[in-house]
Amino acid sequence: MNTTQRIRRRCAAVIAAVSLACLLPGPPGHAQEYPARPVRFIVPFAAGGPADAFGRTVAQQLQEAMHGNFIVENRPGAGSIIGTDAVAKAAPDGYTLLVMSNTHTVNESLIPNKPFALMRDFAPVAPINYSDLVLVARNDLPIKDLADLLQQAKAKPDGMTYASSGPGTPYHMAGELFKAMAGVSIIHVPYKGSSTARTDVLGGQVDMMFDAITTMAPHINSGRVKAIGTTGEKRSPVLPDVPTIAEGGIPGYEATIWLGVMAPKNVPEAILERLNAEIVKVTANPEISRAWTAQGANAMPMNRRDFRHYLEEDIEKWARIVKISGAKPGE
């Protein structure tokens, strides 16, 4: 069973249970009083990317549901380390939360000497959603499909470049997995955020980029970049005419970006459970789910136990890929 199938199975189980959960009384103690003051959602990435956009959606929905003030604060830098470390060191009271992605599970093996460890210093709260990526190329690159790209990359090792939002991000690791599975050498050009990376690909300064379908699809549809392939096991309904990379010539290739919420360790269980319940309601909301699906994202309603297990599996998965690809933090 692959990663996408495991996500779907767990999400289906939670959706089936969420209506029943809504009928049960809330947990006692701290959770009934929470939030009594503003809650900060720290996004350790630059504004304009998926974590920022979907983090704001969740924060807005929690604000309405929990009658509190949820503030999104972007604190990018060092491949998510700066903002994440700030959350790790915050008071464990539920008023500082982390919007995280699989950048964090990658960094457990890519950057082992961090000032924190994900499963030691944080408590899982809930996942948000996941989406496939799309490989795009600048318009004037003389290729028309994946076969052309691979032929050119093999003919001229290190003669092409790909942008990412920084070391360890899903866009970086999708590129490193691509290189390893295709047997090509393409130069990685890391940026401090996906917005600037995207701008330089659109402007023709960098040859290509893996990006979230949710943010790149409008640029593909307007003809500003060439779509080479999507990274899911099936074609994206948002880009039905774009073949998957597996279809195009790299069998078994699959990469996604997923988002979630974590809290500093030792936050009271009642608060963590209430946050999970409320975020599950958001992600299981049919209207929100439909809106996200139209953008290329899939909701991930999941209880805290399953989310912890999912994180542990993802850390192991990316440790294998980091080892196989030979990826380094500064490359």
The rounded average pLDDT for each run of 10 residues, N- to C-terminus, in the chain (331 residues) is 61 50 46 89 94 96 96 93 97 98 95 95 98 97 96 96 93 95 96 93 98 95 97 95 96 96 98 98 95 94 97 95 81 59
Superfamily of domain 3-130+257-325, CATH level 4: Bordetella uptake gene, domain 1 (3.40.190.150)
* Model pLDDT, residue 125: 98
- Fold entry, domain 132-248: D-Maltodextrin-Binding Protein; domain 2 (3.40.190)
Q: How far is CA 75 from CA 12, 56, 145, 249, 264, in A?
A: 33, 14, 37, 38, 16
How far is residue 99's CA from residue 261's CA, in Å, rounded to a whole number? 5
* Model pLDDT, residue 193: 87
* Model pLDDT, residue 9: 61
**Could you tell me the end-to-end alpha-carbon distance of the chain, in angstroms, rounded to an integer?**
32
- What's the pTM? 0.85
Q: What are phi and psi of 183, to 5 degrees?
A: 70, 40
Decide whether 3-130+257-325 matches 132-248 in CATH topology. yes
Query: DSSP for 144-201?
Result: SSHHHHHHHHHHSTT--EEEESSTTSHHHHHHHHHHHHHT---EEEE-SSHHHHHHHH
- Residues 3, 311: contact at Cβ < 8 Å? no
* Model pLDDT, residue 308: 98
Domain boundaries, the chain: 3-130+257-325, 132-248
* Model pLDDT, residue 78: 87
Q: Is 192 exposed, middle or buried (0-12, 13-18, 19+ CB in 10 A)?
A: middle
